Structure 1
Amino acid sequence: METRILIVEEQDQGVRLDKYLSTAMDDCSRSRAQQLIDEEAVRIDDLPVKNSYKVKAGDEIEVTLPEEEALEAQPQEMALNVVYEDHDVIVINKPKGLVVHPGPGNPDHTLVNGLLWHCHDLSGINGVLRPGIVHRIDKDTSGLIVACKNDNAHQSLAKQLAEKTAGRQYYALVHGAINHEYGTIDAPIGRDEKDRQKMAVTEKNSRPAITHFKVVERFDNYTLVSCRLETGRTHQIRVHMQYIGFPIVGDPKYSLRKTLPTQGQMLHAYQLSFTHPSTGERMTFEAPLPPEFEALLTQLRQERSGL
């Protein structure tokens, strides 16, 4: 069991208890907050309260979180597009639609399950649900991801990511015509207060996020850009491009514009570079655009040419 104590600040005076909890605790959705309240796991002055209770400045809220059932990722046979592999690391070209590691709603058939079958062993630094995983890409983002087979390799890659010496570049097709050639988006990202399933540019409970981009090709109402990550926040490129007014084509969360016929967002991790943890060799890998992405670009080129 875990107990958390929350002190309501003046600015949150009058907010419903379930909404307050979902905002104050990063790992708690509003529905989860309501469940905890219904189970009398939320107390004020040692008394249970209702969802509709309006919090008061100075309230001391005690939240008791039950122990979660222990889970462990299991090996599952699946076809993996292995770009490179040795005794330390494995680089995969992940297809769109494949979740990286198990979690709520995706208990199995993830990349981690396939890696455990293929490699038989992965580094244990990130626990039993995310073994070997040092960075992630979204379910509907295709492209390169590296996993580590031992803790030494994991520590080396994690350090490179933290020190920004590992490189990650993406192609993104976005709505709108970007007139300038280059740009840097330096805007902190945190959980969206209105929708816990989304991230947003915000100063509240956020972390620094920096994305560099350059224009690769222009179409009538769309732009193909190459994005280089300096940080690795959840949904970073998707949030940043939407923030500056150029959301990614096909993005179901961050693009409300009428879009081209696509099966998911047009975002692909095409280049990955890092220093090998054992040999010290600088390694760079590239993955071609998936067929559906390339086909969409071909269509736009034909429309631009009037064909």
Structure 2
Amino acid sequence: MSNKILSNKSNLQVLFEDNHIIVVNKRAGDIVQGDKTGDKPLSDVVKEYIKDKYNKPGNVYLGTVHRLDRPTTGLVIFAKTSKALPRLNKLFVSKDIGKTYWALVKNEPPKQEDTLVNWLKKNPKNNKSKAHTKEVPDSKKAILHYKVIKKLDNYFLLEVNLETGRHHQIRVQLSNIGCPIKGDLKYGFDRSNKDASISLHARHIEFIHPVKNEPISIDAPLPEDAVWNACL
């Protein structure tokens, strides 16, 4: 899949929707919000979907709550109302949204389960972050928890939970322990995936609905891929 092939409303995978929230399963290559590439972002695709589905005249309100890196896949939440957006933002800031990622790595991690703590420093020139063992100028503390949940023929499936949300955090912290994510050339994997994705998937999310005060729990189906299929 070329990075230029983006979702459109005919193949948009909506996992949850009510009056206030819409959750979609992002494909590899989609950008969540517009950037300097000028490619059509997922947020615009979702607006078109809402406009068509509900026959809405004029502009459609949609608030972007969080992002996923372009080559990653999985759950993305958008706010459909101005009431939901600040409340969802608050849930993310207060870490009251549980997010679980799945990552495929070729090398076995040093431990079957561990907490990784690093200080990450972003280099805007090459859009990469570097992991440090102690604080350095302009670095941010990064904490994640991982465990090996399945051993495949050639890969290990890791479940990852974040305590912090830093630039490329999962990618750089796993690479730092010798476990770059499958397809992630930027952080040390030796070859790309055919569709230019990396094998990092936002698998599960759970939170209390910001308006209805009801528990929400959603799983994102895995990408159609032989290795991902072997994880189930």
TM-score interval, smaller chain? 0.7 to 0.9
Query: Which residue type is aligned with residue 266 of structure 1?
Result: S
Residue 176 (structure 1) aligned to one of 103, 107, 110: 107
Q: How many residues align?
A: 214
Q: CA deviation at 1:211?
A: 1.1
| Paired position in structure 1 for 2:36 | 104
Inter-CA distance 96–189: structure 2 relative to 1 (3 Å threshold): same
RMSD: 2.4
| Paired position in structure 2 for 1:291 | 224
Inter-CA distance 299–263: structure 2 relative to 1 (3 Å threshold): farther
Deviations 1:123-162 (A, max 9, x none): 5xxxxxxxx1111111111111100112321111111111
Inter-CA distance 263–196: structure 2 relative to 1 (3 Å threshold): closer
Q: CA deviation at 1:210?
A: 1.3
| Paired position in structure 1 for 2:77 | 146
SS in 2 for 1:209: strand
Please tell me whether the aligned partners of residues 175 and 188 of structure 2 are also in contact (alpha carbons under 8 angstroms): yes
| Paired position in structure 1 for 2:119 | 188
Looking at secondary structure, tell me which structure has more strand per residue.
2
Structure 2 gap segments, 5+ residues each = 1-7, 52-59
Query: Which residue type is aligned with residue 131 of structure 2?
Result: V
Please tell me whether the aligned partners of residues 252 and 264 of structure 1 are also in contact (alpha carbons under 8 angstroms): no
Inter-CA distance 274–244: structure 2 relative to 1 (3 Å threshold): same
Output the CA distance in 2 between the equivalents of 1:145 and 1:257. 28
Query: Which residue type is aligned with residue 103 of structure 1?
Result: D
Larger RCO, structure (CA 8 Å, separation 6 or more):
2
Inter-CA distance 250–151: structure 2 relative to 1 (3 Å threshold): same
Q: CA deviation at 1:179?
A: 4.9
| Paired position in structure 1 for 2:19 | 87
Q: CA deviation at 1:266?
A: 0.7
Query: Which residue type is aligned with residue 143 of structure 1?
Result: G
Inter-CA distance 204–182: structure 2 relative to 1 (3 Å threshold): same
Q: CA deviation at 1:272?
A: 1.1
TM-score norm. by structure 2 comes to: 0.83
Please tell me whether the aligned partners of residues 99 and 206 of structure 2 are also in contact (alpha carbons under 8 angstroms): yes
Output the CA distance in 2 between the equivalents of 1:138 and 1:281. 29
Structure 1 gap segments, 5+ residues each = 1-75, 124-131, 302-307
